[in-house]
C-alpha cells in the first residue's frame, strides 16, 4: 500500500526537479490563468486608473518609435513632466521591449503571462531553498502567483503591480548573498532594478522590508562571529550594488520627491476577520483582492513540525500585523510610516500579498515534512498525496477567482490615432488614452503626487510657443519632439520665449538661458536672429544611467573573478561595490543643475507660507496643549457664486509636535446641527510635525454650501490626536467655546 503513494510523490518530484518539465507546467498554468486577458489584447481598459497609468507606456512607445528618443520627458500629461521621475511610469525596464515590439496595449496581457511564469519559477527556487522540498515548492508556486492582487492589477490597469511577483527573486538573491555567492548579488540587484524601473513604488519598499528580514535570518544562521562579519560584509556590498543598479531610476525619483513631496494622511485599518476574508475569500466567492486558496492552510499546518518554518512563520505574523494597519492600538504600520520613504505608503492591506507569499512558503515546508516522513510511514505518504491533491484543488479555485476578476475588466475599442501637430488641451485625466491618440496634452492631471504645474498653462492657444512681448518679434516652430524643440526666432530686443509646458531644470538651450516664467518653460533671449534648440538632458536621468552602467560592469568583474578564484576577497567585492556610489557622489557634486524647489500652495492656489496675517483675516490668537498657535481665520460671510464656502486658518508651529496631531473643524448650525471638515495635512502639504517653524501656515479648505442647511453657522476649530481620538486642550483664548473648540468666525447660508 505504501508503494503507490511513493510512486505518485516521486513522479511529482521528478517533474519538479526537471527544469524543462517544470517550466512547461508553469507556462500551461499561466496560459490557463491569463486566457481571458489574452483574449482582451489590443482593447483599451476604460478604468480611470488604467487611463493614466497605461498612457505613460503609450507615450514612451510613441517617443521611441516616432521620434527616436529616450522617453525622458512627456508633454502629453499634466502640462509636461519628467517621465523617468514619475513614480507610475514603467518603461525603464526590460518589458518595455515587448511594448515596442507589439504595441503597449497588446503587450500587457503577454506581460501578465510572462510575470506569472517568472513569479512561479522564482517562488519555486526560493521555497525549495527555504523548505528543502522541491515537490512542496512546485505545487504551492501557482497558489502564490495566482494571487488576487495580480488579477485585480489586471482589471484596474495597475500593470506596474506585476512587480510584486519579483519578490521571491529578491529573497532568493538575499539568501544566496548570505551564502557568499556572487550570483546572489546579480539576482538581488537585478530584481530590484527591474522592479523599480517597472514602476514599483509599492513593491520596492515593501519587499525591502522582507529582504532585511531574510538578511537578518542569514546572519543569525552563521555559527561564529567571524562568519557573521563576512556575511555582513557581503550584505553591505549587495546593498551598494542594488543602489547603484537602481540609480537610473532612483535618482530621478528622489529628485521628484524633493520637488513634489507626496503626503499621505488617514488611518486605514482592517480587522483580523476582514483580513481573513480578503485573503481566503468565502465558500462561494474566490475573487477577493488578495485571494489565496484555503487549502494552503492545510499544507502550512504541517510545517509546525519543522524548524525551517521559523523565519517564514515570523514573517507571516509580521505581515498580518502590518496588514491590519491602524486597527489595533499597537500599530506596526504606524511605526513603519515614521521611517524615511515609508511615510508615503497607504493601503496597509497590501501587506496581505506578502502574508499570502509566506503562507505559501509554509505550505511548501509542510509538504516537505510529510515527504521526508513518507519513506518510513504509510500514513505520512498518503498524507503527502492528499496534500498534493489539495494544492491542485487550490489551483483550480485560484484560477477560477483569477478569471472571474479578469472578466470584470472594462475593455473598449482602442481609439484611432490622429496625426496632427502637438498642442495642449484642457484634458480629462480619466480619459487620457484618447488625448494621447489625438496628440493632445491633458492639462488635467491624474498623477499620484502633486506635480509642479504652472498656473499659466493654457489649452486654447493658437500656437504652443510665443514671445512674452509680442512686439519684440516672431517665433516660428521649426521642429517638435518630446525631448527636443527648435524655433526660428527674430527678436528686436531682449525678450523671453515662452513654451506652453511646465519648466524643469533638466532643459538646456543652445541660445540664452532656460528660466521659469510663472512656472512655464521659457528661454531668456538676446536681440537678434536665432535658431533656438531646447534639449531635455536631466542630470539625474543621464547621470543615474551612467552609475547603473558602471555598477553592472563592476558586477561583471565580481562574477568573472569568482570563476577564476574559488573565493573572492571581501575587500575586492566591497571596492567594486563602492566604486559606482563614489561616481554618483562626484556627479552630484560637479554636475551643476538648478534645483526645482517644491511649490507650496493650497488646493485653491494660495501660497501655503505667509509672513503675516492678511488684513482681511480675523485675528484669533489661540494656543494649545502642543506647540501650535492659531493666529487668525478667514471666514466668508456666505457662499460664492458657485455655492462654495472657502475657509482659511492661519497656524504657527513653535516646537516639536507629535505626528498624529490634526485639525478638527466643526460647522455648527444655530439649531445645533453639525458638520465636520477634519484633516491631518495642512494645505495638502504638511503634517504639523513636519511643518516649518516661523512663518504662518495658511490652511485653506472648501465646503459646498448646498450640503448645509440655511441659517447662521459657527466655525469652531481645534486640535486633536487622530490616533487616540482625544481633543487637545486650548487656552488663552477669548473665543474659547468648550471642549477645546475655538470660535474662528460665523457665516450665513441663504435659502436655496
**Angle (nearest 5°) at CA 172 between 568 and 317:** 130
Q: Kindly tell me if the per-residue pLDDT of 1 is higher than 60.
A: no
Stretch 701-726: mean pLDDT, rounded?
90
pLDDT of residue 734: 64
Cell 574559488 appears where?
Answer: 566
Q: How confident is the model at residue 216 (pLDDT cuts 50, 70, 90)?
A: very high
Closest CA to 618 of 630, 629, 608: 630
A 10 A CB-CB count for 11 gives 11
Please say whether the beta carbons of 94 and 107 come within 8 A: no
Is residue 264 pLDDT above 50, yes or no? Answer: yes
Q: Selecting from 3.30.70.1520, 2.70.50.60, 1.10.8.290, 1.10.10.10, what CATH number does the domain 609-749 have?
A: 2.70.50.60
- What is the per-residue pLDDT across 297-349, written as a single tens digit (0 to 9) for each? 888 988 888 889 999 999 999 999 999 998 888 889 988 888 887 887 888 99
Neighbouring CB atoms inside 10 A of 629's CB total 17
The beta-strand segments (E) located in 307-414 are 411-412
Residue pair 82/60 in contact (Cβ under 8 Å)? The answer is no
- Range from 226-230, 535-539, 668-672, 736-740 carrying the lowest mean pLDDT: 736-740
Query: 123: which 3 cell numbers?
Result: 517562488
User: pLDDT exceeding 90 applies to what percent of the chain?
Assistant: 66
Q: Are 13 and 377 in contact (CB under 8 A)?
A: no
Inter-residue contact 73 to 482 (CB < 8 Å): yes
d(CA 515, CA 504): 9
Q: Which residue has the cell 441659517?
A: 711
Q: Which residue reads 513518507 in cell numbers? A: 374
The torsion defined by the Cα of 107, 113, 117 and 123, in degrees rounded to 10, comes to 100
| In 68-199, alpha helices (H) | 96-102, 104-131, 134-145, 148-156, 167-178, 182-197
If you search the block for the grid coordinates 503571462, which residue do you land on?
113
Helix (H, G, I), strand (E, B) or coil at 687: coil
Cell of 304: 509546525
Domain ranges of the chain: 609-749
Stretch 489-507: mean pLDDT, rounded? 95
Ranked by mean pLDDT, the top range of 299-308, 449-458, 462-471, 721-730 is 462-471
Sort strands 440-442 and 423-425 into parallel, antiparallel or unpaired.
parallel
Instruction: Give this prediction's pTM.
Output: 0.91
Percent of the chain with pLDDT over 70: 98
149 pLDDT band, cuts 50/70/90, is: very high
Q: CA 538, CA 507: separation in Å to the nearest integer?
A: 7
CB 709 within 8 A of CB 684: no
Residue 47 has a CB neighbour count (10 Å cut-off) of 19
Distance CA 362, CA 369 (A): 10
Distances (CA, A) of 264 to 268, 347, 527, 705: 11, 10, 48, 27
Our CA angle for 222, 225, 227, nearest 5°, is 50
Helix (H) or strand (E) holding 125: helix 104-131
Q: Which helix (H) or strand (E) holds 530?
A: strand 528-536
Of 257, 254, 252, which Cα lies nearest the Cα of 452? 257
Instruction: State pLDDT tens for residues 47-68.
Output: 989 999 999 999 999 999 999 9
Containing 215, the helix (H) or strand (E) segment is helix 203-220
Cβ atoms of 574 and 597 closer than 8 Å? no
Summarize the confidence of residues 182-205 as an average pLDDT. 94
Computed over every residue of the chain, the mean pLDDT equals: 91
**What's the pLDDT tens digit per position in 95-145?**
999 999 999 999 999 999 999 999 999 999 999 999 999 999 999 999 999
Quote the cell numbers at residue 552. 553592472
What DSSP state is assigned to residue 348?
G
At 259 the three-state DSSP class reads helix
Whether pLDDT at 382 is above 90: no
Segment 145-171 shows an average pLDDT of 95
Work out the end-to-end distance of the chain between its first and last CA atoms, rounded to an integer number of angstroms: 84
What is the rounded CA–CA span in Å between residue 340 and residue 250?
Answer: 15
Would you state the cell numbers that stand for residue 488, as one nine-digit string? Answer: 526660428
Amino acid at each position: 500500500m505504501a508503494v503507490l503513494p511513493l510512486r505518485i510523490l516521486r513522479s511529482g518530484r521528478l517533474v519538479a526537479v526537471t527544469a524543462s518539465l517544470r517550466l512547461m507546467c508553469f507556462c500551461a498554468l499561466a496560459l490557463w490563468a491569463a486566457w481571458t486577458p489574452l483574449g482582451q489584447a489590443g482593447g483599451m481598459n476604460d478604468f480611470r486608473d488604467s487611463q493614466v497609468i497605461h498612457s505613460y507606456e503609450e507615450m514612451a512607445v510613441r517617443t521611441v518609435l516616432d521620434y527616436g528618443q529616450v522617453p525622458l520627458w512627456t508633454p502629453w500629461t499634466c502640462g509636461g513632466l519628467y517621465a523617468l521621475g514619475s513614480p507610475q511610469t514603467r518603461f525603464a525596464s526590460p518589458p518595455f521591449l515587448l511594448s515596442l515590439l507589439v504595441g503597449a496595449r497588446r503587450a500587457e496581457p503577454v506581460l501578465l503571462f510572462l510575470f506569472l511564469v517568472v513569479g512561479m519559477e522564482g517562488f519555486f527556487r526560493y521555497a525549495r531553498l527555504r523548505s528543502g522540498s522541491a515537490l512542496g515548492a512546485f505545487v504551492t508556486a501557482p497558489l502564490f502567483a495566482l494571487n488576487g492582487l495580480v488579477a485585480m492589477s489586471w482589471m484596474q490597469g495597475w500593470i506596474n503591480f506585476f512587480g510584486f511577483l519579483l519578490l521571491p527573486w529578491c529573497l532568493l538573491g538575499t539568501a544566496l548573498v548570505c551564502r557568499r555567492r556572487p550570483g546572489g548579488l546579480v539576482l538581488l540587484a537585478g530584481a530590484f532594478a527591474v522592479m523599480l524601473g517597472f514602476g514599483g513604488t509599492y513593491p520596492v519598499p515593501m519587499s525591502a522590508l522582507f529582504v532585511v528580514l531574510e538578511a537578518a535570518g542569514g546572519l543569525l544562521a552563521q555559527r561564529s562571529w567571524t562568519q557573521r562579519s563576512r556575511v555582513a560584509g557581503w550584505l553591505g556590498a549587495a546593498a551598494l550594488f542594488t543602489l547603484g543598479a537602481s540609480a537610473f531610476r532612483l535618482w530621478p525619483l528622489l529628485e521628484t520627491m524633493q520637488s513634489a513631496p507626496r503626503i499621505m494622511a488617514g488611518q486605514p485599518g482592517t480587522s483580523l476577520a476582514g483580513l481573513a476574508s480578503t485573503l481566503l475569500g468565502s465558500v462561494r466567492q474566490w475573487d477577493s483582492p488578495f485571494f489565496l486558496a484555503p487549502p494552503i492552510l492545510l499544507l502550512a499546518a504541517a510545517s509546525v513540525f519543522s524548524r525551517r518554518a521559523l523565519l517564514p512563520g515570523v514573517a507571516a505574523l509580521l505581515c498580518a500585523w502590518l496588514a491590519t494597519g491602524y486597527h489595533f492600538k499597537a500599530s506596526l504600520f504606524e511605526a513603519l510610516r515614521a521611517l524615511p520613504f515609508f511615510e508615503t505608503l497607504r493601503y496597509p492591506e497590501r501587506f496581505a500579498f506578502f502574508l499570502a507569499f509566506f503562507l505559501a512558503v509554509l505550505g511548501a515546508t509542510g509538504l516537505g515534512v510529510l515527504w521526508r516522513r513518507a519513506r518510513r510511514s504509510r500514513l505520512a505518504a498518503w498524507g503527502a498525496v492528499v496534500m498534493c491533491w489539495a494544492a491542485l484543488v487550490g489551483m483550480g479555485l485560484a484560477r477560477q477567482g483569477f478569471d472571474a476578476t479578469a472578466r470584470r475588466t472594462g475593455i473598449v475599442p482602442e481609439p484611432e490615432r490622429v496625426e496632427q501637430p502637438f498642442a495642449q488641451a484642457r484634458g480629462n485625466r480619466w480619459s487620457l488614452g484618447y488625448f494621447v491618440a489625438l496628440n493632445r496634452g491633458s492639462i488635467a492631471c491624474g498623477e499620484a503626487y502633486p506635480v509642479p504645474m504652472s498656473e499659466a498653462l493654457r489649452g486654447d492657444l493658437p500656437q504652443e510657443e510665443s514671445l512674452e512681448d509680442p512686439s519684440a518679434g516672431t517665433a516660428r516652430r521649426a521642429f517638435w519632439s518630446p525631448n527636443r524643440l527648435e524655433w526660428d526666432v527674430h527678436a528686436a530686443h531682449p525678450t523671453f520665449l515662452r513654451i506652453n509646458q511646465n519648466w524643469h531644470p533638466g532643459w538646456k538651450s543652445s541660445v540664452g538661458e532656460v528660466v521659469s516664467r510663472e512656472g512655464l518653460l521659457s528661454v531668456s533671449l538676446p536681440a537678434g536672429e536665432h535658431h533656438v534648440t531646447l534639449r531635455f538632458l536631466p542630470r539625474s536621468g543621464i547621470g543615474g544611467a551612467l552609475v547603473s552602467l558602471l555598477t553592472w560592469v563592476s558586477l561583471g568583474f565580481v562574477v568573472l573573478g569568482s570563476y577564476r578564484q574559488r573565493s573572492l576577497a571581501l575587500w575586492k567585492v566591497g571596492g567594486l561595490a563602492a566604486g559606482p556610489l563614489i561616481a554618483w557622489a562626484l556627479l552630484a557634486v560637479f554636475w551643476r543643475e538648478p534645483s526645482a524647489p517644491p511649490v507650496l500652495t493650497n488646493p485653491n492656489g494660495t501660497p501655503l507660507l505667509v509672513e503675516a496675517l492678511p488684513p482681511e483675516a480675523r485675528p484669533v490668537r489661540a494656543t494649545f496643549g502642543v506647540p501650535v498657535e492659531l493666529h487668525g481665520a478667514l471666514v466668508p460671510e456666505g457662499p460664492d457664486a458657485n455655492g462654495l464656502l472657502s475657509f482659511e486658518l492661519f497656524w504657527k508651529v513653535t516646537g516639536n509636535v507629535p505626528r498624529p496631531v490634526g485639525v478638527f473643524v466643526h460647522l455648527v448650525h444655530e439649531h445645533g446641527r453639525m458638520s465636520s471638515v477634519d484633516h491631518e495635512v495642512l494645505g495638502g502639504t504638511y503634517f504639523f510635525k513636519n511643518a516649518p517653524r516661523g512663518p504662518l501656515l495658511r490652511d485653506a479648505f472648501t465646503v459646498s454650501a448646498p450640503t448645509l442647511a440655511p441659517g447662521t453657522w459657527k466655525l469652531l476649530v481645534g486640535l486633536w490626536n487622530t490616533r487616540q481620538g482625544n481633543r487637545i486642550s486650548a487656552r488663552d483664548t477669548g473665543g474659547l467655546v468648550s471642549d477645546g473648540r475655538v470660535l474662528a468666525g460665523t457665516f450665513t447660508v441663504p435659502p436655496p
